[in-house]
Chains A and B, each alone.
Chain A
Amino acid sequence: EAGVAQSPRYKIIEKRQSVAFWCNPISGHATLYWYQQILGQGPKLLIQFQNNGVVDDSQLPKDRFSAERLKGVDSTLKIQPAKLEDSAVYLCASSLESGWAETQYFGPGTRLLVL
């Protein structure tokens, strides 16, 4: 079974530029998550999709971050404009459903450095 795929793996941009990350979840997984992991911290949930609808985006900085999951499969996360404090690893995860105790499977992440 193929795992969660993410690209690019690394990205370096200057502040105020825009950047986009892509995620392809495990086939058949209805729920997709984007997490932000700042160095030395645990992952923090940014947004959760169930199919192509948003379940939870309470911690997404909506003035600069946006995400979509067209057709309920792949997803993109965009930052525009980027700030220095956005430097982090952006992890995508997926689970079969969104029910309690569903195992979340993580991708390798995209490491973003904002200069």
Chain B
Amino acid sequence: QKEVEQDPGPLSVPEGAIVSLNCTYSNSAFQYFMWYRQYSRKGPELLMYTYSSGNKEDGRFTAQVDKSSKYISLFIRDSQPSDSATYLCAMSGWGNKLVFGAGTILRVKS
């Protein structure tokens, strides 16, 4: 069993839709949860991070963590074609070693 599971998609939605991206994990030592966005032929860039269970909002993006269920989500409101990318969840324990999910390919159609 992988430490971090993420549905690879692809997920195709119309412009303006609400997008929900999810990851599950098995290691209860993970304390720090991140979402990275990776455009084609580019390196990942940090989108959002959170340390605790609950929601964190930043503009059109909301990160949600449920440690009891070992489940994290990223919601994108009013999705735009420019949001089309691969979204990677990543997490770490008390060190700085990141464990990534496989990434979900998102396509927002105009």
Contacts and interface: CB of A to CB of B under 8 A. Distances in A.
A111 to B, nearest CB: 8
Interface bracket on B: 20 to 34
A25 interface: no
A45 interface: yes
Contacts of A101: 32, 49, 51, 92, 96
Contacts of A104: 46, 96, 98
Contact of A106 (B32, B41, B45, B101): B45
Contact of B41 (A41, A93, A102, A108): A108
The 5 lowest CB-CB distance pairs between A and B, nearest first, are A42-B100, A106-B43, A106-B44, A101-B32, A108-B43
Interface of B: 4, 6, 8, 31-32, 41-46, 49, 51, 88, 90, 92, 94-98, 100-103
Interface of A: 4, 31, 40-45, 48, 56, 91, 93, 95, 98-109, 111
